[in-house]
Every structure is written in structure tokens, then in C-alpha cells.
Structure 1
């Protein structure tokens, strides 16, 4: 393999399992279809690699044995599974599905496979838009996430890279990843998200900085409602620069949740493709082994637009703004039928004073990093 080629993780069953996730019917198929419609993966800069399913031992490198064994048995006749599904977080957002154990092995396998390729120095950049399930906890499902593929991938990367920077661009706090590494000073979790009354998951305040040896290695950027392009990119660039200066990472994992985009029914914020693109370009300047993952995104057409656009940004390819009419899902991109997502009219509640307070607090925070 040529290390300069960008590895793109894909497998038919990986897309199919992501389509089975609650609230996500056909999203993964739409993402892959739009990338294919632009013929991106035919470019010599990409190498498509089929993922391998995760093993039980790989799942248990983070998740508890009790949780993984329960997923194997729940819903099966005479399984011996006696615990209430709610004990393991299998409720309305994460209901018991047929073959839950198969689902988690295939979904986790995508990001684990990508991480293994980075560790083996088969590439410097790997992409898995079908990963990024950052809410799952050690012993329970949470927030549409049955398995925390992000943590599992980082566990693989730790074998070769001493310091890993995790950057979370999802509009929801990456609580599962932070909780997994809150005692570590080798993995720094940096999450940009909305934190307002009643907004899930309710964690990730400025004061949420990690514990024990990991104190100060959790960095949270809590935005108020309606965050837009100008404030987001200003904060990202200053915070990212500050964190990197204090924490010399050897590898980066980026969760690119699309739910901060204008038009998302859950995120309800005001970001654009360019917002995410500007952040990704800053990350690419580091020239470090990097894993890009998907995440949230509940306007499926916009999530497809974003991850297609970022695939092109990562490879420095220009895309036509007109959605290719070869796309199987072309009607879903109306009424504009364009790639671009303009900002909306939402008011950005993040005042200049609030933004400066965030920046000052995090700059002070970074002085404690070693």
C-alpha cells in the first residue's frame, strides 16, 4: 500500500447495519451513493478497503464482558439473559434489535480496521463515515450508539502512538469518549458542542476537565444556541492551536458529526460545509496520522453533503456545486439540488463577550497541560 493514499473504509454489510440504527434508515446508503455519484473514490488518491468485523476481545478492550455477552443473548429464546434491557441502556433510543451482537461487531470493525491500517503505516489518513458513535458507555448503549467505535479505535492507536488527540465536532458532547479516557494524560479529548438547558447529553462544561492523572486532559468548548460559521471557526482555530501547542499529539481522531449544520432537526444550529471544511483543513496542516469518522446528522441529505464534501477536502479535490443527477437519491436534495448549505436566519446566542470568556478559560486550562 502507498502511505500517501487515503484509505476509505467501506463494506456493504457496514452500510446495511448502519441503516438499521434507530432513526437512521437509509442514511448510510445516501452517504455512500452521493460519494459514488461524484466518482470520488475512482480518484487515484483513494484506496477503498473492506473492513473486518470486530472480535469479542476487541469489543471488550473497552466494553464490559457483561454488556457484550448480553448483546449476544438478548431476544433469543432460552438465552439465559435475565437482566432488564434498560440496565444496559437498551431503551427507546437504543431498542433491542435483531442480532444486536452482529450489528456492534460490524460497526466497530469499521473504525478498528481503519486504526489498524494507521498503526501498520499503510496510510496517513483513513476515513470511516460509518463510525463516530461517541455516546456509548462501557456497559451500556446511549444516544443511538450501541458500541463506542471511537474508543475502540483509539485503543488500537495507543499501541503505536504515545499521545492521541481526539477532536469532536458533533453538536452533542462526546461524553462516551471523554468518560473512557478521563483518567488518562495520553489521550486528550477536545469537544466542541452545544450545552444549554435540556440539550442532550447535558455534560461537557468548561469545568469538566478530567480526573486524577487525566486532570486537564478533557477540554470542552460549550456553545450556546445558534452557533454560526464565524464564531465557530474563530473558536476552533484558536483552541486547536492552543491545545496542540501544549499537547504534542502523535495521532489525531476526528468525529465529524453533521448535526451542527443548518437544517438539522435535532442540532438546530447554523454551521455550513465550509465551517467543517475550515476545521478539517486546520487538522490536516498537522500532517499527523489521522482518522476521520462520521457521527450524528439527522437531515440525511445534509449529512451526505457534508461527508461527501469533506472526502473531497481531505483529498484536495474540487466538487461541482450541482448534485449529480445520477444519484439514486437525487429527489432528496431538493429544492436546491446543490451541494452548498447556506447559513440560516437563526440568531447566534454566543455573544462576543461569551466567546472571549470561553477562549480565556481554555487558554488558562492549556497552561496546565504537560
Structure 2
């Protein structure tokens, strides 16, 4: 069994009932695993300490998060990305963020200490947080804090981000490092937040050639996404020779997601999770830390993350989702839910010519990226 890190207090990371980054997603996921009869006995992690957070974040930023969390007026809060529509302040925000950071960090320490090989953190994935700035619903960057613990242990880390948004915070933090490879596949920043993640962002100094970005065209479908993934990720891992993978498994590239325009199905996610697991077996002896991330359609997000759990645990998929679970959540959400783990609805239908154009653009992007990086790799 793959160890699962989870704490009920993850649900305290809540920006309010109308905010898209809702803890309801985690509550739904956990109750679904219970209804399926496969809920794990989770490892309850300790909170990350202030010192843990300061391994990545600036002191003046952390002090402002703490002050805002106590209800104090912070006059320059917006300069630090706080008290904004994306990251509104809520009581005890600092502790809520540190609990989630603690989960990802604990997973990394289990791997670094040899107590686990693969770990699933049922939370986290806050890839937009910068050293001195909150951004994109992210206060502290749990991923980079965990990566720092792994590199402190002498491990080379390959970070793979399949969230629909560019993993800009993780990239920025490790941009000058040659012990961390960052790979982000995302909808192009030409159209989508955070407006970064282009192929010329390849790292600086010792880190040149160790930041890889695959900006994808809107309406990219399963076939094109998986083709580009295979063009880039396996070859990058061969080049880098990592000791461990850290994977951010955002579910917002799904076609039902309201905040982006990629068209992945749950079938594509299943293939991605199986491929990532195989790549870990091939390149790191199975050492991999998986986290959650974005995902703003409750129905799609919960099913994608349930797939992640079942794939990692080598468990069979149910033919249908439990009726009692669906009825309860349909009443709470006041909307219908898919009756099966895999999609029953269909994504937006494009003309064959438009699909071909998008696939060609994506393939061209992947080729340009690999051609650019060949200079640094060989």
C-alpha cells in the first residue's frame, strides 16, 4: 500500500464559500473513498514549523501572513499578494497553510529517510506561491519546501506539474538550481493565468537547461496532450537522472473545469497517472511524492483524484459510484454528478481540421523546446 498523508484540518484552508479553491473537494474525495470501501488509514502529519517555511519564503512575507492571520491590519498586504480576490485573508490562515505544507513535507521526509518509496499527499500542490508573495490561491509553497528537504538530503528532484496553470512559483524558487528539474505542462500563458511558462524560460546560472515548459494551445485534447508528454517528459528524465519525482496532480485540465480551456478526459488522466508511476519505477526506483492541486469543477476533480488514488494503490475501478454518496452530494451541491468514475459527458467537439491544427502547434512547441535544451544537455 502506498502511504497516504492526510489531516482533517486540511479543510481549514478555506477562503470562503464562494471562492473556487474550496475544501469541499477534499471532503468529497475522502467520503467517496469511504463509500467505495477503500479509504486508507492516513498518516496525520505534524504542522510545518516557521523554520520549515523560511527555508523557501522570506521573513518579511511570513511575518505579514502571520499578522494578517491574527486579524491585524497589514497596510502593504497587497504588495505581498495578500488580501486580494485570489488570496483573501481568513482567520488563522498561517496555521491552515502550515498544516498542508506539513503534509507535503512529511511525505518528502518519509521518502528521504527511506521509510517509504511512493507517497500520496491528499492535499497541497500550492505551486503559485513565490518566496515573498502569495498568488493564485497559494499562501506557502508546500512543493518547494518539500523539494528543499529532498535536496538537503542529497537527492536530485524532478518536479512534474500537470496542473492546467503554469507552476510559476516552483519554477521561480528553483530557477538557478541544477539539482532540481522542473517540468510544467499547462495551457499557454498567452491566454491563461499566471501569464508565464513559455519555452524560453529555461533557467539561469547553474540552473540553465533545468526548467522545461510546455505551453499548450486552448482546446488541447487527450491525444495531443499525451503525445507531447511523451515527446518531453521521458527524455528529460533520462537526461537528468533524478533520485525522486515530485508530481503536482492538478485536475483542472479536465474539459469540465470552468477556469481553463484544455479538454482532457478522465481516460487521459488515468493514462497520465499510470505513466507517471511507470516513469518513477524506471528512473527513481519508484521514489515519488504525489500531491493534489487545482481543480474547480467538483464532479470532475473528485473523480480525477479518486483515479489517482486507485491507480497508485493498484486497486480496481468501481463500475459505478455509490448511489448513496451521489445522492448526498447532489443534494448538498444542488447539481447532478457523474454516475461513473470515468466521464459520461463528452468534451467540446472540434472539427477534425481544428484538432489537427492544435496538435501540430503543440508538437511544434515540444520540438522547439527539445531543440533549445539540446544545447545544454549534450
Q: For 1:275-294, list aligned pairs within 5 A.
A: 275-285=268-278, 286-287=280-281, 288=284, 289-294=287-292
Question: What residue ranges of structure 1 are gaps of 5+ in the alignment?
Answer: none
Q: Deviations over 1:199-231 (max 9, x none)?
A: 101101111111111111100001010111001
Scaled by the length of structure 1, the TM-score of the pair is 0.91
Counterpart pick for 1:312 among 291, 307, 310: 310
Q: How do 1:170-319 and structure 2 match up within 5 A?
A: 170-285=163-278, 286-287=280-281, 288=284, 289-319=287-317
In structure 1, the residue matched to 2:143 is 150
Equivalence map 1:24-103=2 (5 Å): 24-25=21-22, 26-42=24-40, 48-74=42-68, 76=70, 82-90=74-82, 91-103=84-96
Which residue does 1:356 correspond to in 2? 363
Ranges in structure 2 where 5+ consecutive residues have no aligned partner: none
Q: Quick check: 1:182–1:214 contact (8 Å CA) kept in 2? A: yes
Counterpart Cα distance in 2 of 1:39 and 1:297: 24
> Pick from 158, 167, 184: which aligns with 2:160?
167
Tell me, yes or no, if the aligned pair for 2:217 and 2:362 is still in contact at 8 Å.
no
Q: Which residue of 2 aligns with 1:369?
A: 377
Contact kept? 2:166, 2:196, Cα under 8 Å = yes
**What is the rounded CA distance, in whole Å, between the counterparts of 1:177 and 1:113 in structure 2?**
18
What's the RMSD between the two structures over aligned residues? 2.0
Aligned pairs, number: 360
CA contact under 8 A between 2:175 and 2:211: conserved in structure 1? yes
Q: CA deviation at 1:75?
A: 5.9
Q: In the alignment, is the contact (CA less than 8 A) between 1:88 and 1:140 conserved in 2? A: yes
SS at match of 1:40: coil
C-alpha distance in 2, partners of 1:221/1:112? 27
Q: Residue 49 of structure 1 aligns to a residue in which SS?
A: coil
Higher helix residue share: 2
Moved over 3 A (4+): 18-22, 330-333, 346-350
